A and B are shown apart, each in its own frame.
Chain A
Amino acid sequence: MIFSFDLLINAVISGILIGGFYAAVTAGVSISFGILDIVNIAHPAFVILGSYIAYIVNAKLGLDPILTAIVMMPAFYVLGAGIYQIYYESFEKRGQESLRGLAFFFGVLFITEVSLVLYFGVDYRYVEAPYIGPTWHFGFVDIPFRIMVPCIVSLLLIAALQLVLTRTFIGRAIMAVAQDQLALRLMAVDPIRIKRIAFGISIATASLAGAFLIIIQPVEPSVGRQYIGRVFAICVLGGLSSLPGTVIAAMLIGVVESLTSTFYGPSWAPAVSFGFLLLTLAVRPAGLLGR
């Protein structure tokens, strides 16, 4: 293959933009797995659920997918809080979260996926919005709006989350709940309530990530599975509980994946994130910005 500078620059830029979107998908996992220590492997399934909701509303009412997702966030929050309550009552309270909790989330992932298949079939679905067609051209650099818009909104979302986590009382309590529950109780805060809120927030981000996903690519129910490895690779690489670390790791993986698919072919791209995951686990389990 002839090495092309244009191709390289374009691959890097689209990798960074895609990385911004990956950060939105991973933000929820960084909160649930990184901070709360709840191994929510069903997170990508909720992202796909968000995609389908954006699709239905877009197809029926013609509403903008991102707007739909923001409107739907409270509903996802309630869903997340409900799931945490079940998880807490059935597993955490009995101290069985390691084996059965994992199996529970795996079952939830499976049920969501099969239900979507039964209801919508395995056809690819897509949405329509004004910013999906056009592309900016700067000389040889192309920036497609359909990737840039999700990237920008995603960075705004993560900035907002970071502000909430570091500046508000609830946010600080969320950061504290992972470290010392007893100390939190002494501050007259109920750790279970804080965890419920945090898990609700983590699922609420899936609504927005789902809208981004269906803007960027057509979606069918099993697409979510490809994101499981990727999302956890990013989360581990980013240092588990650090949102800035998540953004950096997401962009890094986005760029490497984009380079791989440009120069070796798209069929190799899924192996990249796993390679990163194994490498991180073997060399530096604390991640890039880990404590």
Chain B
Amino acid sequence: MRTPAFLLVCFVIAGIVFAAAVAAGNDYVFFAGYVVLQYIVLSTAWNILGGYCGYVNFGTAAFFAVGAYSTVAVYKLMADSDFYPMPLPVLMLVGGVVSGVIGFGMGYLTLRLRGAFFAIATLALAVVLQTLVVNWDFVGGSRGAYILRPEVVPYIGSYIEYLFLVMLLLAVAALTIARLIERSRLGYGFATIRDDELAAEASGVPTLRIKLIATTISGALMGMAGAPFPYYIGYLQPESTFGLDYAVNSIAMPLIGGTTSWVGPLIGAILLGSLQQIATVTISSAVNLLIVGCLLVGFVIVAPNGIIGLVHTYWQRKPEDFVGRRRVETDAPGSVP
């Protein structure tokens, strides 16, 4: 399918989703749906670096929170000016740029070393950014910050419907970007890094440069997903914004869905996101995190290629028939000679 056709299909599906949510006539659908859409963006963004390049990012919460806090900073800066309130797309652009720059910086410092160092550095990045935010009184410090959201938006309706729509469009954009990358030279470059970085380097693939492109795109998308969050939650607090559940979810969703294609994070986010929304309401939020952890460990051990991999084995088809031209990882020979 060509990209314009793909976009058209995406928009039709998005329109149906939005119409269905409006038809449900219940604001809760928008609140729950927003979270699921947000996870579609986060897990797709994670997968651009983690799934395509094979570099694990544990700092999703950090990039997400940078987006959210840049919104708070802009909101406070602009509070007395004529431009108040700033339109949401502008805020998302700001959040995306700031997160993208941080992603680039992280990548530049650590990507020349072995992959594990990048993973550890991202984990520590979350702690440090949280320390900075806690000590930065302008954006609320450890007390948190309140954001007043407008009641209605012209032409659309209530504000939560607007937020839902914006996140829906961002999800479409993220999936399109991921799909475009997958089918471009860049995507093949990513795949060579994942399969054998040394061989890629030796064959003339500019590994550092394309890894930096991946960290920047991935970070920027996460920041854009975080930018509308203060308007959604109303009260932003460092403890919850930097929470580990963003990190574990954005890793679990692609790995459960399947990391080699844009379909995987989508499936994972819809399944796991909806499951969590149901579990939070019916059981408790701590138990739902336990479910995510157990599913993650279970899937990486039993079904290393995720749901997509399971589907392939079930139909005994060649992977190429199902998800474009991308090679799905098969059992590599053991590391022991």
Spell out A's residues near B (CB within 8 Å).
33, 39, 41, 86, 90-100, 102-104, 106-108, 110-111, 113-115, 117-118, 181-182, 185, 191-192, 222, 225-226, 228-229, 232-233, 236, 267-268, 270-271, 273-275, 277-278, 281-282, 285
Instruction: Please give, as numbers and ranges, the residues of chain A lying within 8 Å of B335 by CB-CB distance.
Output: 92-93, 95, 97
Assess whether B124 is in contact with A96, with CB atoms less than 8 Å apart: no
Q: B304 and A104: CB pair below 8 A?
A: no
Which of B7-15, B22-30, B31-39, B286-294 is the interface stretch?
B286-294
Beyond A118-B286, A277-B121, whether A271 also contacts B131 by CB under 8 A is: yes
B213 to chain A, nearest CB (A): 19
Q: Which residues of B contact A (CB under 8 A)?
A: 50, 54, 56, 58, 109-110, 113, 115-117, 119-121, 123-125, 127-128, 130-132, 134-135, 142, 244, 247-248, 251-252, 255, 259, 286-287, 289-290, 292-294, 296-297, 300-301, 304, 329, 331-337
- Asked if A114 meets B54 with Cβ closer than 8 Å, knowing A103-B251, A232-B120, A273-B124, the reply is no
**Beta-carbon contact of B132 and A271 below 8 Å:** yes
- Ranked nearest first, the 5 interchain pairs of A and B with the lowest CB-CB distance are A229-B124, A95-B332, A107-B297, A110-B293, A107-B296
Q: Which residue of B lies closest to A93 (CB)?
A: B334
Most buried by A among B131, B142, B300: B300
Can you give 26 A-B contacts (C-beta < 8 A)?
Answer: A41-B120, A86-B301, A90-B300, A91-B300, A95-B335, A98-B115, A99-B56, A100-B300, A102-B56, A102-B119, A104-B297, A104-B301, A106-B247, A107-B248, A107-B296, A107-B300, A118-B286, A222-B244, A228-B124, A232-B123, A270-B128, A270-B131, A271-B131, A275-B128, A282-B109, A285-B113
Q: Pick the residue among B123, B125, B128, B290 that contacts A115 (CB under 8 A).
A: B290
Determine the main DSSP class of B at the interface with A: helix
Beyond contacts A95-B333, A102-B116: 13 other A-B pairs, Cβ-Cβ < 8 A, are: A91-B300, A94-B334, A96-B332, A98-B54, A99-B56, A107-B248, A118-B286, A191-B336, A270-B130, A274-B124, A277-B121, A281-B110, A281-B117
Q: Is the CB of A181 within 8 A of B115?
A: no
B287 and A118: CB pair below 8 A? yes
* Complex: A93 Cα to B109 Cα, angstroms: 31
Task: Name the residue of chain B whose CB is nearest to the CB of A97.
Answer: B335
Contact, CB under 8 Å: B128 / A274: yes
B297 and chain A: residue at smallest CB distance: A107
Can you name the residue of chain B whose Cβ is closest to the Cβ of A87? B301
A277 touches B297 (CB 8 A): no
| Shortest Cβ distance from residue A89 to the other chain B in the assembled complex, whole angstroms | 8
Of the candidates B123, B252, B255, the one having the most CB atoms from chain A within 10 angstroms of its own CB is: B123
Q: Are B255 and A278 in contact (CB under 8 A)?
A: no
In the complex, chain B residues whose CB is within 8 Å of the CB of A95: 331-335
How far is A97 from B114 in the complex, measured between Cα atoms in Å?
13
Is A107 in contact with B293, judged by CB distance below 8 angstroms?
Answer: yes
**Assembly CA distance A228 to B120 (angstroms):** 8
Alpha-carbon distance A232/B281, docked complex (angstroms):
37
Contacts of B115 in A (CB 8 A): 98
B301 with A106: CB separation less than 8 A:
no
Task: Find A278's partner among B121, B297, B331, B332 (CB 8 Å cutoff).
Answer: B121
Distance to closest chain A CB from B301 (angstroms): 4
Q: Out of B50, B120, B124, B248, which one reaches A39, CB within 8 Å? A: B120
Q: Which single member of A106, A236, A271 contacts B117 (CB below 8 Å)?
A: A236
For residue A261, give the distance in angstroms from its CB to the closest CB of chain B: 12
Q: Are A182 and B337 in contact (CB under 8 A)?
A: yes
> How close is B192's CB to chain A, nearest CB, in angstroms?
15
